[in-house]
Structure 1
Amino acid sequence: MPRQIRRIDVHHHYFPADLTVTKAQSSEKFGWDTPAENLPWSPEVSLKFMNAASIDVAILSFPALSSGFVGQENRDQARQRNCAMAEIVEFHAERFGFFATLPFLDDIEGVLTEIAYALDVLKADGIGLSSSYGEGMDAKYVGDDRYDAIWAELDRRSANVFLHGSQTPSSTPHPAPSLGIPVVEVPNETFKAAAHLVVTGRKRKYPHVRVILAHMGGSTPFLAARVAVLSRHMGCTLSSEEILEDFRSFYYDTALSAHEATLTALNTFLGNPNRLLFGTDFPAVSSEMAGWYTQNLERFHASEPDDLVKIMAVNAARLFPRFQSYT
């Protein structure tokens, strides 16, 4: 019998006890019902799913939210969440890693302090970022000038960064109950943040940060060429080819995105599978939903088993060396 392909899930959330949004509130505010069987979340909920889905390792991350505030309470909250995740990882060292959550990003001093503590003391596997911070017209995308010191520190550390679209509503209501914010807005928020990092030159200025875009970058593979020409016309100083080159320098996870059409587009855009990573988005979705995308991924690469091995674990192990044995 052939050896089971290893799987490292880089897009796997945790829901801390202090995240008190109820199912009804989530459905009304975001237009999404987290599967009831996954709530309340615990490591055992994820481990049960992982065992059934033959997933060796999951890198835990806090859900992307743009709301927040500057202050000690917010710093303490981030620290508590990171310490709690570090304890879980210590207890299940062979099964979990985690992306550290940060204080509200406008708190530059607090953010830099937490980056150092999370990476040096708690040994986090990377940093989780939302696409933007703040509400409405006050929101700023992560490539904003005010966050330059943060990117400089992440670059100095060659840090892994998991960039996830925030639960940001449009200026109009979502079109239908079945087309809530996670369905129609979150993927585009990921693209907007990635595009902002590119056109501001932040991605090129800090090349040592390994940025993973959630959900295969959302609409990135389809809109990168639009940015390459139109944003240059509107003042971006990079050439069209430089813009496309910088878009190709991201990593892309497969969570809720693996389908023949999207995989074909991203494969063509990137040119090789070396920056594609396996992800599920569990426990925000059910095991059945996550499994549908995994099956699509496996089917698409059925004739290219070496590529599938890279996507499922090898590429991630290069970013997370402590999991090299899972390749």
Structure 2
Amino acid sequence: MKRLKITIISMTLATTAIAQGVMDVHSHLITPEFASSLEKEGRLMDEGFPLPKYDVYNHLKWMDEAGVETSVLTLAAPQPTSAQTVRQTNEAAARIKKEHPERFMFCAALPLPDVSKAIEEAKYALDVLKADGIKLATNVDGQYLGAPELDTLFSVLNERKAVVILHPHRPEPVNKQVMQQTPLAMQEYLSETTRAVSNMISRNVLARYNNIKVIVPHCGAYLPLAIPRMKSLTPVMQANKMVGEIDYEANLRTLYYDLAGAHSPEVIRMLLTITTPDHLLYGSDYPYVAPQVLTQSLARMKDYLSKEPDLAPFKEMILWKNAKWLLGQTGEKPSAATATANMIVRIAEIEVFPQYLEEYLAFANEVDRLSIEREPGVICLYPMQSAEDSCQIRILEIYASEEAYQQHLKTPHFLKYKQGTLHMVKDLKLPTMKPLDQETMKLIFKKRDK
């Protein structure tokens, strides 16, 4: 009777969810077998907080109320020590997917640190259970992602072009005082995720196995701070033969980021200093957060993604389009650049007084660099000099929308450029251009994305 009741509720409410199309890449399955195994081992409080209860029908009810079309299930922390428990959880997830094929997907857990058993389970999960990807803990018993002994596993996942969802676990070894005052989820999870991803980058794991796409949880943890620091220190470390070559761009291209946790416009903008809008995904962290809180959080995200001019072009990408492409639900890779209908395109025609040319170029290069780095709505600022007359400057400008352009004009770096160069400019023309064929621009950006 309970199953029938929930099915009817799901059928009547699902229309809203499917219409909105939100895809949640961060939700957890907690089976009775998993909870029982942790209880027997005395590990129920390993992460510093109790396991929540999980019920698939309650999950569906929340999805329908919040407007979530599909959720991707993964095993919660901590990592089971039993390969049998891992197998039971994966098979339970496969059953849920089979019973609700339009509503659930899953990424299978692996029985690490035993690499051979993990490879066996990965093949079984992907080939037999038809898992949509693999879930990996940041570490299991001190075996961190990036460890050389995991290369054979990553080779198998690379052959299958697997999607891998990461999740932080209790760091090992760990001083008990680390979690004496706060549960791991409050801060240490962010450190743990950053530690594991940085470790993989430092060994070029993601660059070497670049068919794997990795989803980093919790708004990228501390990576927006860690990556620039790593990049800046790498030359010094290499000069002292302390690190080898690190291909940051190739590693970072494989990383995607879910927005579970404390998302905000500011957090998204910070993430966009190390990635692009097509690598951002919605995540809820169900059932670790109360359903009503998750519903309010998603509504707030939809609201600011609609209202913030620099983020509005990416709303649908973040909420569902990116995830659907990543997990094979659609064949066309989403790109904000291909949404050309609202773009502003112009070629600024500038003549600079000769005595100010070098100073002007320094200002122009700085504002162009900062605008591209910090403003998602600025798609292109490309300055050029005439070969015949170096004082003749042309700048190709492309903005995602009128709102993005107006936002650009208010930024500190643009105002600095404007105030600092006004007296240097002899003549200025700002004609707004219109493409002869809108479809051609779409093709240009699609070609760039490949």
What band does the TM-score fall into relative to the shorter chain? 0.7 to 0.9
**C-alpha RMSD over aligned residues:** 2.6
**C-alpha distance in 2, partners of 1:33/1:78?**
19
Residue correspondence of structure 1 range 84-99 to structure 2 within 5 A: 84-99=92-107
TM superposition shift of 1:189: 0.9
In the TM superposition, what are the counterparts of 1:10-21 in structure 2 within 5 Å? 10-18=25-33, 19-20=35-36, 21=38
Contact 2:47–2:78 under 8 Å retained in 1: no
* Offset of residue 168 of structure 1: 2.9
Which of 165, 180, 183 is the matching residue for 1:180? Answer: 183
Tell me if structure 2 keeps the 8 A contact 1:60–1:98.
Answer: yes
2:73 to 42, 54, 60: 60
Distance 2:179 2:66 in 1: 33
Question: Does the alignment pair 1:259 with 2:246?
Answer: no
Correspondence 1:34-183 to 2 at 5 A: 39=53, 41-66=54-79, 68=81, 74-104=82-112, 106-134=113-141, 139-168=142-171, 170-171=174-175, 173-174=177-178, 177=181, 179-183=182-186
Q: Which 10-residue stretch deviates more, 212-221 or 303-312?
A: 303-312
- How has the CA–CA distance of structure 1 residues 129 and 308 changed in structure 2, closer, same or farther, with 3 Å as cutoff? same
Q: 1:26-41 residue pairs with structure 2 within 5 A?
A: 29-33=46-50, 39=53, 41=54
Per-residue deviation, 1:32:
2.6
> Is structure 2 residue 215 aligned with structure 1 residue 200?
no
Q: What CA deviation, in whole Å up to 9, does each residue of 1:192-220 have, x standing for no partner?
A: 11111100111111111010001122111
- Unpaired runs of 5+ in structure 2? 1-15, 335-450
Three-state SS of the structure 1 residue aligned to 2:136 is: strand
Distance across 1 between alignment mates of 2:177 and 2:185: 13
Find the counterpart in structure 1 of residue 23 from structure 2.
8
User: How far off is 1:112 after superposition?
Assistant: 1.2
Aligned equivalents of 2:300, 2:274: Cα separation in 1: 19
Offset of residue 295 of structure 1: 3.6
Distance in 1 between residues matched to 2:330 and 2:252, nearest whole Å: 27
User: Can you list the C-alpha shifts for 1:101-159, whole angstroms capped at 9, x where unaligned?
Assistant: 1112x32221111111111111000000000110xxxx121110001000011111100
Q: Which has the higher strand share?
A: 2
Provide TM-score, normalisation by structure 2. Answer: 0.63
Higher Cα Rg, which structure? 2
Q: Would you say the 8 A contact 1:64–1:129 is kept in 2?
A: no
Cα 1:290–1:173, aligned 2, differ >3 Å: closer, same or farther? Answer: farther
- The answer to whether the 8 Å contact 2:164/2:212 transfers is yes
Of the three residues 200, 223, 227, the one matched with 1:220 is: 223
Matched, 1:288 2:292: yes
Q: Which SS does the other structure have where 2:62 is aligned? A: helix
Q: Which amino acid aligns with 2:217?
A: A
> In structure 2, how many angstroms separate the alpha carbons of the residues matched to 1:285 and 1:52?
15
**Which of 260, 275, 279 is matched with 2:279 structurally?**
275
C-alpha distance in 2 between matches for 1:47 and 1:323: 23
**What is the CA–CA distance in structure 1 between the aligned matches of 2:235 and 2:287, rounded to whole Å?**
40
Query: Using a 3 Å threshold, how does the CA distance of structure 1 residues 205 and 52 change in structure 2: closer, same or farther?
Result: same
Going from structure 1 to structure 2, the CA distance change for 1:176 and 1:89 (only over 3 Å counts) comes to: same
**8 Å contact 1:203–1:246 — kept in the other structure?**
yes
Q: Secondary structure at the match of 1:10?
A: strand
Q: Quote the residue 1:71 is aligned against.
A: none
| 1: CA distance, partners of 2:192 / 2:243 | 20
Distance 1:324 1:244, change over 3 A: closer
Identity of aligned residues (%): 26
CA distance in 2, matches of 1:89, 1:323: 18
CA drift of 1:175 comes to 6.5
- The higher relative CO (CA closer than 8 Å, separation ≥ 6) is in 1
The answer as to whether partners of 1:197 and 1:203 remain within 8 angstroms in 2 is yes
Q: Number of aligned pairs?
A: 305
The 3-state SS of whatever aligns with 2:86 is helix
* Contact persistence 1:7–1:57 (CA under 8 A): yes
Q: Distance in 2 between matches of 1:66 and 1:44?
A: 25
Q: CA deviation at 1:180?
A: 1.4
* Partner of residue 237, structure 1: 244
Q: Is the 8 A contact 1:66 1:167 kept in 2?
A: no
Distance 1:176 1:132, change over 3 A: closer
| Separation (CA, whole Å) in 2 of partners of 1:144 and 1:161 | 16
Unaligned runs of 5+ in 1: 69-73
Kindly provide the amino acid, as one letter, of the partner of residue 63 in structure 1: A
**SS of residue in 2 equivalent to 1:269:** coil
CA offset digits 1:225-269 (Å, max 9, x no partner): 112233554433235xx3255235300000013113211201233
Q: For 2:293 and 2:48, how far apart are their aligned partners in 1?
A: 17
